[in-house]
Amino acid sequence: MKKKGLWLSLALVFGFTLSGCNSDSASNNGQKEDQSASKGHEKLEIFSWWTGAGEEDGLKALLKLFQEKYPDIPVENAAVAGGAGTNAKAVLASRMQGNDPPATFQVHGGAELNEGWVAAGKMEPLNDLYEKEGWMDKFPKSLIDMVSKDGKIYSVPVNIHRGNVLWYNKKIFAENGLEPPKTFDEFFQVAEKLKAKGITPLALGDKEPWTATHIFETVLLGTLGTEDYKKLWTGELSFDDPKVKEAVNTFKKMLNYVNEDHSSRNWQDAAQLVGKGEAAMNIMGDWVKGYFVNDLKLKVNEDFGYVPTPNTEGKFMVITDTFGLPKGVKNPDDVKKFLAVLGSVEGQDTFNPLKGSIPARIDADLSKYDEYGKQTIQDFKTAELAPSLAHGSAAPEGFVTKVNQAVNIFVTQKDTKTFIDTLVSASAELKK
C-alpha cells in the first residue's frame, strides 16, 4: 500500500508539471501564428548565442537596420544565452533534428558548418545570392572557401576575429626593458627574465580547457606554417609527424611559465591578470580587446599592446561567425533578404564596431573601427588565413572535444607521448 501511494503521488506531480509545460508552449505557438498571420509574412527567427555586452548591441543594431529596410517582415531575436554557445548549440541540434529549423542561425565557418550541418544535408546552397549581390569578389576567396563544400557556398560571414594574438602589459614590458617576442626563442628569453623578477610571464585560465587548446593551436601554426597546419585537419599530415612533436614540446615548455591557479580561472580572469599588471602576457583571440576596453577601461597601445603570437607574423587564425539558410524554412526569400543585409557593407559596419570584431568584407569603411581594428583589417587582407581548431573551424566538433580533453590531461601530466597517441587515434575521425 505504502508503495502504491508513493507511485500515485509521483504520477500526480509529474502529471501537473507536464500539463503545465504543455499549456505554456501551446499559448506561445498561438501567439506566434497570430502575429505572423496578421502581417502576411512568417516571422524571421534569428538564432544566435550573442547575449554578451557588445555582441548583443551589435545584433540589435543589425536587426534594427533590417527592420528599417523591410518594415513588413517581422524579425525575432531568438538568442540563447550560455558561454561559447553550448546551450544554443544543444537547442539548435534538437530543433534541426525535429525539422523545425530557425530562419537562420549563427555557425562558425569551416568544419562546424561544412562537416556538421552541410554534411547532414540540412543547408541550402547560396550561390545565387552571392552572384545576385555581387559578393564573389567582396569577400576574400579563402574565406568563401571556408563556407563552401564541393563548390557550393552555404553561409554568409558577418565578422572576423583573430585568434593568434599575444597581448602584453605595456608597463611591465617598459619597466623591464623588454620587447614583445616575435619568435619562440624570444618568447622564452622574455619569459625567463620575467620569471626571474617574480612576474608571471604567461596568463592562462583553463577552467574551460579550450583556452589551453587555443594556445596549442597558435603554437602548431607557428611551428608548422599555414600549409602544413591545414594539412593536419584533412588527414594529409599525421599527428605523429616530428614537427607536431616539436610543437607539443614547445607548448609544454610554455606551460612552465603560466600562473599556478590557471585551472580556477576562465579566459576573462586570465586576461584580467595582464590588464591589472599581475602577469605579463596572454595568448587569446581578439575578443580580449573588447574585454580590456569595455570592461576594464584600458586603452589600446597605452595600457596594453598586441603582437601576433610567436612565429605567426603574416598568418591569421580566423574565427568567423556566419549565417546560412536551413532546409525546410517556410520563407526562404525573406531569409535571403536578411542575409543580404547581413552581407552588405552597411550591415557589417553596423554590427562589427559594436561587437569588437572586424568585417568579413574587404571594402568596409575603415573610419568606423579603432586603432586595433584598422590594423587587423589590413593584416586580414594580406595574411595567410588559417582555420581555428579550438573554435570549430578546422575540424568537426567531435574531434575538437577530444582534443580539448587530451589537452586538459596534458597540461597536468605533460606526457608528450600519451598526448600525441591520443591525437593520432582521435584523428581517425578526420579521414572520413
Footprint on this chain of other proteins (rule: CB under 8 A)? 1-3, 8, 10-12, 14-16, 18-19, 86, 89-90, 93, 96-97, 116-117, 119-121, 206-209, 260-264, 396-398, 400-402, 405, 408-409, 411-413
Task: Compute CA distances 95 → 80, 92, 119, 314, 416, whole Å.
Answer: 13, 5, 17, 40, 40
Indicate the residue among 12 and 81 with the shorter CB distance to other proteins: 12
- Least distance between other proteins and beta carbon 81 (Å): 14
Phi, psi of 302 (to 5 degrees): -115, -55
Phi, psi of 34 (to 5 degrees): -55, -50
- Least distance between other proteins and beta carbon 210 (Å): 10
- Least distance between other proteins and beta carbon 150 (Å): 17
Contacts of 201 (CB under 8 A, 6+ apart): 190, 191, 194, 195, 257, 258, 279, 280, 281
Task: Write down the residue that cell numbers 538568442 correspond to.
Answer: 79
Indicate the residue among 92 and 341 with the shorter CB distance to other proteins: 92
- Least distance between other proteins and beta carbon 409 (Å): 6
Indicate the residue among 96 and 219 with the shorter CB distance to other proteins: 96
Indicate the residue among 312 and 422 with the shorter CB distance to other proteins: 422
Indicate the residue among 60 and 402 with the shorter CB distance to other proteins: 402
Task: Report how far residue 273's alpha carbon sits from residue 259's, in angstroms, rounded to the nearest whole number.
Answer: 9
Task: Report how far residue 407's alpha carbon sits from residue 412's, in angstroms, rounded to the nearest whole number.
Answer: 9
Task: Report how far residue 368's alpha carbon sits from residue 332's, in angstroms, rounded to the nearest whole number.
Answer: 32
- Least distance between other proteins and beta carbon 401 (Å): 4
Indicate the residue among 66 and 257 with the shorter CB distance to other proteins: 257
- Least distance between other proteins and beta carbon 303 (Å): 22
Candidates 105, 124, 120; CA nearest to 44 is: 105
- Least distance between other proteins and beta carbon 297 (Å): 21
Candidates 376, 325, 387; CA nearest to 352 is: 376
- Least distance between other proteins and beta carbon 98 (Å): 11
Q: Which three cell numbers stand for residue 382?
A: 594580406
Residue pair 258/252 in contact by the 8 Å Cβ criterion: no
Task: Report how far residue 392's alpha carbon sits from residue 144's, in angstroms, rounded to the nearest whole number.
Answer: 16
Indicate the residue among 61 and 84 with the shorter CB distance to other proteins: 84
Indicate the residue among 117 and 239 with the shorter CB distance to other proteins: 117
Nearest-10 Cα torsion for 66, 72, 73, 77: 60
Task: Report how far residue 148's alpha carbon sits from residue 154's, in angstroms, rounded to the nearest whole number.
Answer: 6
Residue pair 285/223 in contact by the 8 Å Cβ criterion: no
Q: Are strands 155-162 and 315-326 parallel, antiparallel or unpaired?
A: antiparallel
